[in-house]
Amino acid sequence: MPILVVADLHLDMWLQAGRDPLAALSPELLGSLDGVFIAGDLSNKPKVRWQSMIRHLARYVPLEHIHVLPGNHDYYDHVLDGDDRLAEICAEAGANFAQKSVTVIGDTRFLSCTLWTDFALHADPGRAMMAAQRDMNDYRYIRCAGAGFRRIRPSDTAFIHADHRAWLEEKLSAPLAGETIVVTHHCPHPDLIGERRGDLEAAYGSNLLPMIEKFQPDLWLFGHTHWRVEATVGKTVVRNVSLAYPGQVPAGEEEGIFLRGLVSAITS
């Protein structure tokens, strides 16, 4: 049951740079995959670009094996309350939309959602929210249809975080024989967020250690930080599977990065 999970594919930027990261994967590996999860940030401008990005992925993997979870970039020039449109684009293309979705492949259950953050990583969520609103593109390029198409605020993404977190807790509470793998865009581990982001760190991840310790999923894969690190919490491996921007990945390193998200290789 080889499943590949990759976050921060930013495929639009790679193709604009004249590089195709997927070409680094061997036809043997691609042909053996039972599923590919894009754990957020497939591309900017989803209403214009997702269709062609999914078509590009389908050159390598059958459409029915492609699962797309939106990251923050996948809402740029779109609306935060626009998951229905993203689901429609996936359905029209023949791929699967993986927001708040339970996907069972073999005897493994994948729980996937964007996650966002609670801005509570450090002592002062109010300060972290102000910093995010001031300095992060998310709060410039994403709007909220249900609020007159105004720009989103950190309180909007914190609200969705609470919803996604409650959904994850509910799903993790349901017993299941077999493995459970959580796939999110944002980081669930306070030590895996990266350094020197100051007040912005709380926009990259939250402290979900109590949830991980309580439910002990086999694996929790995430992206967003572009910082390829991992940690073990009890029996749970928490691992970043960001590909990242083309300028951050020297030619020849793509395959090794992709293989970090090859689930059978991590859990075996």
**Among positions 67, 109, 189, 224, the unique one binding Fe ion when judged by CB under 5 A:** 224
Compare residues 109 and 224 and give the one whose CB is closer to Fe ion. 224
Residues 42, 182, 192, 266, CA torsion sign: negative
Q: Choose one: 65-73, 138-146, 238-246, 258-266; the region binding Fe ion (CB under 5 A).
A: 65-73
Work out whether 72 is an interface residue with Fe ion (CB under 5 A). Answer: yes
φ, ψ (nearest 5 deg) of residue 73: -65, -30
Work out whether 71 is an interface residue with Fe ion (CB under 5 A). Answer: yes
Q: Choose one: 75-83, 110-118, 167-175, 223-231; the region binding Fe ion (CB under 5 A).
A: 223-231
Q: Helices marked H in 174-259 — which ranges?
A: 209-215, 254-259
Compare residues 222 and 258 and give the one whose CB is closer to Fe ion. 222
The residues with which 243 forms a beta bridge, in sequence order, are none
CB of 226 to Fe ion, least distance (A): 8
Q: Choose one: 70-78, 121-129, 138-146, 195-203; the region binding Fe ion (CB under 5 A).
A: 70-78
Strand ranges (E), the chain:
3-6, 35-39, 66-69, 78-79, 96-97, 101-105, 108-113, 142-144, 150-151, 179-184, 219-222, 230-233, 236-240
Q: From CA 124, how far away is CA 111, in angstroms rounded?
A: 30
Three-point CA angle 159, 235, 197, nearest 5°:
45
CB of 205 to Fe ion, least distance (A): 11
Compare residues 41 and 118 and give the one whose CB is closer to Fe ion. 41
Residue at shortest CB range from Fe ion: 224
Compare residues 33 and 38 and give the one whose CB is closer to Fe ion. 38
Q: Choose one: 63-71, 86-94, 142-150, 247-255; the region binding Fe ion (CB under 5 A).
A: 63-71
CB of 80 to Fe ion, least distance (A): 14
Total residues belonging to the chain? 268
Burial of residue 76 (CB within 10 Å: 0-12, 13-18, 19+) is: buried
SS3 7: strand
Q: From CA 239, how far away is CA 49, in angstroms rounded?
A: 28
Residues 1-40, interacting with Fe ion (CB under 5 A) = none
Size of site (CB under 5 A) for Fe ion: 4
**Among positions 12, 41, 74, 83, the unique one binding Fe ion when judged by CB under 5 A:** 41
Work out whether 46 is an interface residue with Fe ion (CB under 5 A). Answer: no
Q: Choose one: 69-77, 86-94, 108-116, 255-263; the region binding Fe ion (CB under 5 A).
A: 69-77
DSSP state of 81: T
SS3 42: coil
The residues with which 202 forms a beta bridge, in sequence order, are none
Compare residues 189 and 224 and give the one whose CB is closer to Fe ion. 224
CB of 30 to Fe ion, least distance (A): 25
Residues interacting with Fe ion, by CB under 5 A? 41, 71-72, 224
